[in-house]
Amino acid sequence: MLYRDADAWRSAPSKRVLVFGMSGLGKTHMSTTVRDSGRWFHYSIDYRIGTRYLGERIADNAKAEAMKVPFLRDLLMSDSIYIGSNITFHNLSPVSTYLGKPGDPAKGGMPIAEYRKRQEQFRRSEIAALEDTGYFAERAQQLYGYPNFICDTGGSICEWVNPADDHDPLMTTLSAVALPIWIKGDAAHTAALIARFDKAPKPMAYQPEFLLLCWTDYLKETGAHEEAVDPDAFVRWTYARALAHRQPRYEAMARWGVTVTADEVASLKGEADFITLVASALERRARAA
């Protein structure tokens, strides 16, 4: 690992970490807490995806919808108006809106073929954004003078690695430039995530094989035709299965770094708390070795 023990971590003049885990367990809280100290550069994978790798597709998707309105079409065709996404660290909805949900277009869905195409675009974009981590860590220090760096990953990172492979290319690359930190939740956290998702279902990225299995099973179970699937009903039905699918993958990825709990992350008040938290996690790892 990048830091051999707690002492090495505490004394390191430049600290670099990469946080991963289920969305909703505290990745952004952790990143914001250290960023607010003014000494940490916050690299958001979803922000990078939305501004660099899917930026044009997101804007073009919005333009395509606007072009359906004659008044707006005339203005766009004459370059009288401009449409772009106003993506920020606190508003990443343009990315999820583009990713979308499969099913009945009348209910906000899209054909499954288009959905799979966008899933693949997102997969490639997220891997590329993750591979940019080392570049941004160096850039943060050399260009902006930040001594420390935190990479805030998306919940789908576990879909693109092979956690059973000790030499997985992506995890090998990432762990060489930052200390991976897994935020681990318990059964109560999982139940809370499911309840929250049920109230406001959001688009997700899935491993292609997992998506195909869920889509096939859902059609069989409901008897619905592809074009008649309720998009929100499908993603709700899939969510708990997605969490169960991801949990062992996150756990296997944790061997590249350290593990902290969601409750520990929720208690963070500042940079000093964070440094102590990671040091404690390194000590736990050493004792378990």
Q: Per-residue pLDDT for 8 more than 80?
A: yes
Report pLDDT for 86.
77
Predicted confidence (pLDDT) per residue in 61-114, tens digit? 888 888 898 988 988 898 898 887 777 767 778 899 999 999 999 999 999 999
Angstrom distances, CA of residue 214 to CA of 106, 134, 225, 247, 249: 22, 35, 14, 17, 18
Q: Which residues contact 22 (CB under 8 A, 6 or more apart)?
A: 155, 183, 185, 189, 190, 193, 243, 246, 247, 250
Instruction: Tell me the β-bridge partners of 110.
Output: 102
Q: Model-level pTM?
A: 0.93
Please list the alpha-helical segments (H only) found in 49-132. Answer: 55-66, 70-77, 93-99, 112-131
Angstrom distances, CA of residue 90 to CA of 31, 178, 223: 12, 23, 39
Instruction: Tell me the β-bridge partners of 80.
Output: none
Q: Which domains, and CATH codes, for the chain? A: 15-46+103-282 (3.40.50.300)
Mean pLDDT of 48-61: 92
Report pLDDT for 120.
98
**Segment 76-83 long-range contacts (CB within 8 Å, at least 24 positions apart):** 83/59
Report pLDDT for 89.
65
Predicted confidence (pLDDT) per residue in 149-195, tens digit? 999 999 999 999 999 999 999 999 999 999 999 999 999 999 999 99
Query: Looking at 31-45, 69-83, 244-258, which range is the least confident one?
Result: 69-83
Predicted confidence (pLDDT) per residue in 199-250, tens digit? 999 999 999 999 999 999 999 999 999 999 999 999 999 999 999 999 999 9
